[in-house]
């Protein structure tokens, strides 16, 4: 540097170092401060890979296209720039995930139904609202599923509508004790297999069971009636 030759060499190095530190601090103020959590960003990219893996071939570019590491060389913030992701303004942690109609299939019927991996949502401790409707899921990977549901301690809204879930999902849903809204319309739930049903969901205000297989009897119909 030209300005350096005029100064003593040690103070010159000090000056350069200080400038460098200030630049790093400023960059952090501009980017790091507002950025979404790295663990959650990584977890979101895993969710994207999952949806690509369960979709038919040829849809890769249409699945969550805004979920990218960089956008034309510009850093892309998962809180501000990614579709379907909403973060808490203070903590910058993911609060809301809209993954409705994300899986892409050429044919939409029960035979191509896939399983949802709930472990993917493990890192989102502040998640309040999760929409997984319209994805053609027939169930969940049950390995460690109770742990995964158990980590969603703040989940208030869950939409699983327009899938192929049956009564096997109910014991898992019954662990989501902070739920206030549970949408299960257009699935294959009968509500008769389990006596306990969703009795643990004591804050539940809205339960949508419309257009399910055969909801004529069982604890869920009674619970639905109580809520109405």
Ligand X SMILES: *[C@@H]1O[C@H](CO)[C@@H](O)[C@H](O)[C@H]1NC(C)=O
Which parts of this chain interact with ligand X (CB under 6 A)?
A: 46, 88, 90-91, 98, 100-101, 117, 119-120, 131, 141
Rounded Cα distance, 203 and 27, in Å: 44
Rounded Cα distance, 131 and 101, in Å: 9
DSSP SS3 for 174: coil
Decide if 161 contacts 139 (C-beta within 8 A). no
Pick 176 or 223: Cβ nearer ligand X: 176
Among residues 198, 181, 188, 60, which one has the least CA distance to residue 131? 181
The minimum distance between CB 166 and ligand X, in angstroms, equals 19
Pick 113 or 223: Cβ nearer ligand X: 113
Pick 101 or 146: Cβ nearer ligand X: 101
The minimum distance between CB 75 and ligand X, in angstroms, equals 23
Among residues 77, 68, 98, 92, which one has the least CA distance to residue 161? 98
Rounded Cα distance, 13 and 54, in Å: 56
The minimum distance between CB 133 and ligand X, in angstroms, equals 8
Pick 147 or 214: Cβ nearer ligand X: 147
The minimum distance between CB 131 and ligand X, in angstroms, equals 6
Decide if 133 contacts 162 (C-beta within 8 A). yes
Pick 134 or 197: Cβ nearer ligand X: 134
Pick 126 or 190: Cβ nearer ligand X: 126
Q: Which residue's structure tokens are 């029960």?
A: 110
Return the structure tokens found at 32.
Answer: 């790091």
The minimum distance between CB 162 and ligand X, in angstroms, equals 10
The minimum distance between CB 146 and ligand X, in angstroms, equals 14
Q: Where are the beta strands (DSSP E) in 53-189?
A: 70-71, 74-75, 85-87, 94-98, 114-116, 129-131, 137-140, 157-159, 181-183
């Amino acid at each position: 540097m030209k300005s350096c030759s005029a100064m003593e060499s040690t103070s010159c190095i000090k000056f350069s170092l200080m400038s460098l530190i200030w630049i790093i601090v400023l960059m952090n103020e501009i980017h790091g401060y507002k950025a979404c959590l790295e663990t959650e960003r990584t977890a979101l990219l895993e969710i994207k890979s999952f949806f690509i893996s369960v979709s038919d071939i040829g849809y890769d570019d249409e699945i969550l296209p805004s979920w990218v590491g960089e956008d034309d060389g510009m850093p892309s913030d998962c809180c501000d720039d990614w579709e379907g992701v909403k973060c808490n303004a203070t903590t910058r942690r993911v609060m809301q995930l809209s993954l409705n109609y994300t899986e892409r299939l050429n044919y939409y019927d029960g035979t191509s139904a896939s399983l949802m991996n709930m472990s993917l949502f493990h890192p989102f401790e502040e998640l309040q609202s999760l929409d997984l409707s319209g994805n053609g899921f027939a169930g969940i990977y049950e390995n460690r599923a109770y742990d995964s549901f158990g980590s969603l301690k703040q989940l208030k809204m869950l939409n699983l509508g327009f899938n192929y879930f049956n009564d096997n999902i109910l014991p898992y849903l019954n662990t989501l004790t902070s739920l206030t809204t549970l949408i299960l319309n257009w699935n294959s739930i009968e509500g008769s297999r389990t006596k306990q049903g969703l009795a643990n969901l004591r804050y539940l205000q809205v339960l949508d069971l419309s257009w399910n297989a055969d909801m004529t009897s069982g604890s869920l119909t009674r619970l639905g009636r109580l809520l109405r």
